[in-house]
Structure 1
Amino acid sequence: MTGGRVFRKTVPVRFEDCDPAGIGFYPRMLMMVNRLVEDFFAEALDCPWPAMHGRQRRGVPTVRLEVDFRGPLFQGDALDLELRVRKVGTKAFTVAVAGSVAGSEKFAVVQVLAYASTGPDVRGLPLPEALAEGLRRYAEH
């Protein structure tokens, strides 16, 4: 699949993100991915999470996650993160996130997120049309 927009951010790799041998701490990498998704919602989709989680009582929990670690990360690296939307369904969507340093891919993530209510009655819901349309603008063709 090709096409679609790409959401990009560059973040520093910090001391807390890896050890001196370049082994990235996977929980920290997944936090970077989660922050990228959160920024994507706020900046690209005009759907900031405080409003979605707070007033709207909605969220996008992860229902599937695949991670491939492909290379070392070192403190001081500038990590380029790219998010692409792979698929938009009626209640869920799939994103692919790649993390690279100077063009060398360090990890790749495929994440399926479902649109859901929050609180005591958590359940999947149809994606609102405005959100689905925003996701489709970033979808691969």
Structure 2
Amino acid sequence: MPGQVFRKTVPVRFEDCDPAGIGFYPRMLMMVNRLIEDFFAEALDCPWHRLHGRENRAVPTVRLEVDFKGPLYQGDALDLELRVLKVGNSAFTVAVAGSVGGAAKFAVTQVLAYTTAGPEIAASPMPDALKAALREFSAG
């Protein structure tokens, strides 16, 4: 049974692409990072200011793969969809698809680790509540 999908639509701005439709890849990755931050706050009830602050935890990226599939233009409404592909003990994998009007623009697969924060970063087991919330968005 497929899990839930977290969705957002964001505008493509002048700073995100050039007139030829070539998206600036750092900006695309920033959109993905913002989506993940919103996902944590809105879908998982785990806002990053609490996670990184009071809980002294982090979710850094340990693997990232991006496929660019089509042009992006200023003024486009970019539909972003996040699905959880895998939930482990201290890491999870997400897939983010970006599209405009149903046409694929990019696809991202990202592995994030649940870690301690600070100078001695180390993987840490995710709390059961966080794993359960992630699994609500998992297809497997």
TM bracket (short chain): over 0.9
| 2:58 counterpart of 1:71 | no
- What letter is aligned with 1:134? A
| 2:46 counterpart of 1:47 | yes
Per the TM alignment, residue 17 of structure 1 is displaced from its structure 2 partner at its CA by 0.1
User: Aligned partners of 2:18 and 2:95: how far apart in 1?
Assistant: 25
Aligned to 1:30: 29
Aligned to 2:135, what secondary structure does the other structure show?
helix
Aligned to 1:3: 2
- What letter is aligned with 1:99? G
User: Aligned partners of 1:121 and 1:99: how far apart in 2?
Assistant: 34
Aligned to 1:120, what secondary structure does the other structure show?
coil
- TM-score scaled to structure 1, two decimals? 0.98
Per the TM alignment, residue 121 of structure 1 is displaced from its structure 2 partner at its CA by 1.4
Per the TM alignment, residue 119 of structure 1 is displaced from its structure 2 partner at its CA by 0.5
User: Aligned partners of 2:139 and 2:22: how far apart in 1?
Assistant: 31
- TM-score scaled to structure 2, two decimals? 0.99
User: Aligned partners of 2:86 and 2:66: how far apart in 1?
Assistant: 18
User: Aligned partners of 1:14 and 1:41: how far apart in 2?
Assistant: 24
Over 2 Å off, 4+ runs? none
Aligned to 1:16: 15
Aligned to 1:94, what secondary structure does the other structure show?
strand
User: Aligned partners of 1:46 and 1:80: how far apart in 2?
Assistant: 22
Write out per-residue CA displacement over residues 69-125 of structure 1, whole angstroms, 9 at most, x where no aligned residue: 000000000000000000000010000000000000000000000000010111000
Aligned to 1:58: 57
5+ residue gaps, structure 1: none
Aligned to 2:10, what secondary structure does the other structure show?
strand
Indicate the RMSD between aligned Cα atoms, in angstroms.
0.6
User: Aligned partners of 2:121 and 2:26: how far apart in 1?
Assistant: 25
Aligned to 2:95, what secondary structure does the other structure show?
strand
User: Aligned partners of 1:59 and 1:128: how far apart in 2?
Assistant: 13
Aligned to 1:120: 119
5+ residue gaps, structure 2: none
